[in-house]
Structure 1
């Protein structure tokens, strides 16, 4: 009976583990969204979205849901009001834009093992640097310019942080901010 009670208690504790993620707010706020356009947009854009996940600077499998990532980025490009058409389907376009989103996760494996072995009583911490590198090319393939933006997110894992779960920050708004900031910088540099 004691073994059953211990197993149920361990299961309850493991299911009640919590984490708290917060952004460092390093990225400057976009001044105006959608971007101002003096005339009706006439440029079409082909977007190629790529992603990678690194753990302690080593490439690993996993990372972003590619379909969701493309959908988020395409929506921001359409909402910018700078393009007549934005697509991820290969076709002739006025601009060819390559977007690479990277998640550089950093943390200690030993700390994660200790956190897990103590059933999340001893906290663990990881940081994720989300970076977006955007390359703009004209219709003939000539590189017009590159823009890189990044934001850092810190995640704490601990048993009592279950109460912070409803306040956890999603990655989607940060990806939106990275895209908007990249487009704002591209407009400032007259790449779009």
Structure 2
């Protein structure tokens, strides 16, 4: 097979993968008003703590290092760029606030149906989902709990032949990235609007 034919085959496979899979969110995420950094008068120093839990079909699974690093980098990057904080410190004992962020990825999939989908060349449909939950608990520098924010969203992957008729369709990895960004942004914004980063401490939630 010459180079031109190889390129045509690869192109066809890529297009086919888009036509056979769509991903969408379940609209569980409640987004607060955006944060305008220009209106943030006091920007505290914060320390970030992260933890991760992965569940597949009801069973706890080992957390993949790449998965953990991906989410950690996204959380730290958003904290640096959202315009709410003066510094992301590495010293838990010299900070204004400690942000304890726990992420849970609850995946659901029917492996038998997924195999059947592949064997029938996507004629028989199958679905899989990832339900992401972020819980952020805010503590002051003395370790006193100030409040908690919970945000969640579910991403569903649907596999079936000729899903081009379901346009506009979205590639699964890009949908997950957008969901990740929206979850993290909404978590920080909600905590800000609840007053968890202000000196006048609100009641615990």
Q: TM-score range by the shorter chain?
A: 0.7 to 0.9
Could you tell me how far apart the structure 2 residues matched to 1:48 and 1:128 are? Answer: 23
Tell me what 1:7 maps to: none
Q: How many residues align?
A: 180
Q: After superposition, give the CA deviation of every residue in 1:133-165 in whole Å (9 maximum; x if it has no partner).
A: 111111111211111100111101234348979
Structure 2: gaps spanning 5 or more residues: 1-11, 198-205
- The 3 A distance-change label for structure 1 pair 117 and 62 is farther
Aligned ranges 1:77-116 → 2 under 5 Å: 77-87=79-89, 89-91=90-92, 92-116=94-118
Tell me what 2:53 maps to: 52
Could you tell me how far apart the structure 1 residues matched to 2:108 and 2:175 are? Answer: 18
Aligned ranges 1:71-150 → 2 under 5 Å: 71-87=73-89, 89-91=90-92, 92-150=94-152
Q: How large is the RMSD of aligned CA atoms in angstroms?
A: 3.0
* Partner-residue secondary structure (3-state), 1:186: helix
Could you tell me how far apart the structure 2 residues matched to 1:120 and 1:38 are? Answer: 51
Please say if 1:185 is aligned against 2:190.
yes
Q: After superposition, give the CA deviation of every residue in 1:90-144 in whole Å (9 maximum; x if it has no partner).
A: 4421111111111111132332232233343311111221110111111111211
Contact kept, 8 Å, 1:35 with 1:184, in 2: the verdict is: no
Please say if 1:167 is aligned against 2:166.
no
Structure 1: gaps spanning 5 or more residues: 1-11
Tell me what 1:6 maps to: none
Which deviates the most, 110-119 or 144-153?
A: 110-119
TM-score (norm 2): 0.74
Contact kept, 8 Å, 2:24 with 2:170, in 1: the verdict is: no
Tell me what 1:22 maps to: 24
Could you tell me how far apart the structure 2 residues matched to 1:29 and 1:145 are? Answer: 18
